Structure 1
Amino acid sequence: MSEARSSQNSVKSAPRKVAVWCIDHPITAVSLYICVVSLFFLAFPRVDFWASGLFHSAASGFAAENVPFLRDVRHLGPFLVRVIAITCLAVLLAKLLVPERGPLMPLRMPVFLLTTLILGPGILVNSILKDNWGRPRPRSVEEFGGDLPFQPVWKITDHCDSNCSFVSGEASASMWLVSVAFLVPPTWRKAVLAFVLPLCLILSVNRIAFGGHFLSDTLLSWGLTLLLVLVVYRLLYVKDPPLVSDRQLDAWFTVSGRRLQDAFQRVSVWIRQGWRGVVRIFSEH
């Protein structure tokens, strides 16, 4: 009896141990996730057809893309990304324009958010993968009424020139929203994740329902984006010393802001002198 209980306890504790290990080794865990997902879809590519087929019918195609409410939902993720990006830029710009004042928030925060947004959804996903891997979208492949052959994950083809299916840009942008949870106080972290993770799932499934991406595009986009966020976070916050500190950023923006002010003043003086010269010339005649 005691052996049976011990065996049940060990089975129950196994997922907890895995979760603890993943939390302690996040970069390794996400790297393994990317490898496992990639190998799974290379071995079982028909799973992509099955997932997309849940939202497709021969008569109406991917009908979800014609539902106004779902089209509106699609814009929620990009809207939140724009709001956060504009806020970050405003914080940095305010420090440049008023260098004598302290920043509105520690400057590593906007630098971290903008860096991960540019490198992840911007460069890695949209500029490198989507524009070069050439994977046709589900709505374009023969199995769903299109005229292009299905292509597996990670295979570079010439069936699509740009903005292709592999990987999902909107899934990447929605997963990027998780980066906010790294910066909020620990007591807020669960609340932020409770909002962002379901939103990420909804926005990503929405793209599959529209025939815009395969399931594998979405799952790999999540992993690649989260991996990049974790690496940048380690460089800026975990590494000792960090790649750059709040104090160093404050000093750099202060010096740059003062130089900018000096440049504005010189230009202003030059314009005033030029204007006076023009006025003098016309007054003499």
Structure 2
Amino acid sequence: MNRSGLYTALALVLVVGLLFGIYPELDLQLAGLFFDASNKTFPLKFNTLAMIARDGAMWIAWGLALPSIVALVVKLARPDKPLLVPGRTVMFLLVTLVLSAGILTNLTFKSHWGRPRPIVVTQFDGPQQFVPWWDPRGSCGRNCSFFSGEAATAFWTYAPAALTPPAWRPLAFTAATLFGVVTSGLRMAFGGHFFTDVAIAGLVTFIVIWLAFAWIYRWPSTRLSDARIDAALTRFAWPLYRLRQKWRGRDVGSR
């Protein structure tokens, strides 16, 4: 997670944003590669193996986050015990996942950016008008196209890749990139998203991960320790834990 990676991501956001903002028809042309005009559909969305691959991709991503989720739940239930996973790992993985695949995607853009999905625009035999990525005034009411939550989740695998040993990190980042690209390609092939939806999702996710990594691990003024995070979670969960123990006739004291 060096500076060159951040600069590259920011440059790609600028290039993709400007290119597809000036020439929005490029989004339609790329989506059209997956459209069967004779049958007026995106045929891959009916392919069983493709659907299994799509669902499996999300299971893989969430599987990488599962140890940290379990560790957090156990810690909140038993704050007297140490975290099962290092505190910085738990914080880094879950914060980046929630931000990139949850808050920024579903609560911010997809809920308020009315861009219709390819499968429902008039160019692909749908009822709604196409709008470029930068225009939030489309006719989609909810769960809209910009930007892709599944692509953001797939590209979130950059986060666990960043925590691999240095010798394995280039391979891990390559695998995360391929995983994100293939998952994003499937979303496009199903008619669920335009290229800009998945590209910007991946780039924004990478930037979120880069900043979180720097905040938690690198910058001296904000750098955290596993022990500090463990202690903060203990303090947070202790009042409820103490109350539960009192109901059982035990007083574990305050923290």
TM-score by length of 1: 0.81
Determine if the alignment matches structure 1 residue 263 to structure 2 residue 243. yes
2: distance between equivalents of 1:181 and 1:200?
12
1:6-26 CA distance string (max 9 Å, x none): xxxxxxxxxxxxxxxx94343
Q: Which moved more, 1:169-178 or 1:192-201?
A: 192-201
Of 175, 199, 210, which aligns to 1:230?
Answer: 210
Determine if the alignment matches structure 1 residue 118 to structure 2 residue 98. yes
Q: Counterpart of 2:164?
A: 184
1:252-282 CA distance string (max 9 Å, x none): 2333454443221112239xxxxxxxxxxxx
2: distance between equivalents of 1:43 and 1:23?
31
Report the identity percentage.
31
1: distance between equivalents of 2:192 and 2:49?
17
Q: Which moved more, 1:133-142 or 1:41-50?
A: 41-50
Consecutive unaligned residues of structure 1, counting only runs of 5 or more, are: 1-21, 271-285
2: distance between equivalents of 1:247 and 1:119?
24
Determine if the alignment matches structure 1 residue 56 to structure 2 residue 35. yes
1: distance between equivalents of 2:2 and 2:70?
33
Q: Counterpart of 2:122?
A: 142
1: distance between equivalents of 2:110 and 2:158?
22
2: distance between equivalents of 1:163 and 1:171?
14
Determine if the alignment matches structure 1 residue 34 to structure 2 residue 13. yes
The structure with more radius of gyration: 1
Deviation, 1:164, is 0.6
The 5-angstrom pairing of residues 87-126 of structure 1 reads: 87-126=67-106
Deviation, 1:188, is 2.4
Consecutive unaligned residues of structure 2, counting only runs of 5 or more, are: 251-255
The verdict on how the C-alpha distance between 1:257 and 1:123 changes in structure 2, with shifts beyond 3 A counting, is closer
1:118-171 CA distance string (max 9 Å, x none): 111101111111111100111111111011111001111140011111111111
Matched pairs, number: 249
Of 103, 107, 127, which aligns to 2:107?
Answer: 127
Of 117, 131, 135, which aligns to 1:151?
Answer: 131
1: distance between equivalents of 2:38 and 2:137?
30
Report SS of the residue matched to 1:186.
coil
1: distance between equivalents of 2:18 and 2:229?
42
Q: Which moved more, 1:141-150 or 1:90-99?
A: 90-99
Q: Counterpart of 2:253?
A: none
The verdict on how the C-alpha distance between 1:105 and 1:86 changes in structure 2, with shifts beyond 3 A counting, is closer
Q: Which moved more, 1:157-166 or 1:239-248?
A: 239-248
The verdict on how the C-alpha distance between 1:108 and 1:150 changes in structure 2, with shifts beyond 3 A counting, is same
Report SS of the residue matched to 2:232.
helix
2: distance between equivalents of 1:187 and 1:72?
32
2: distance between equivalents of 1:178 and 1:54?
28
Counterpart code for 1:49: L
Report SS of the residue matched to 2:222.
coil
Contact kept, 8 Å, 2:68 with 2:85, in 1: the verdict is no
2: distance between equivalents of 1:260 and 1:191?
43
1:85-121 CA distance string (max 9 Å, x none): 3321211233344445443232110111110111111
The 5-angstrom pairing of residues 61-76 of structure 1 reads: 61-76=41-56
2: distance between equivalents of 1:202 and 1:45?
23
| Higher helix proportion | 1
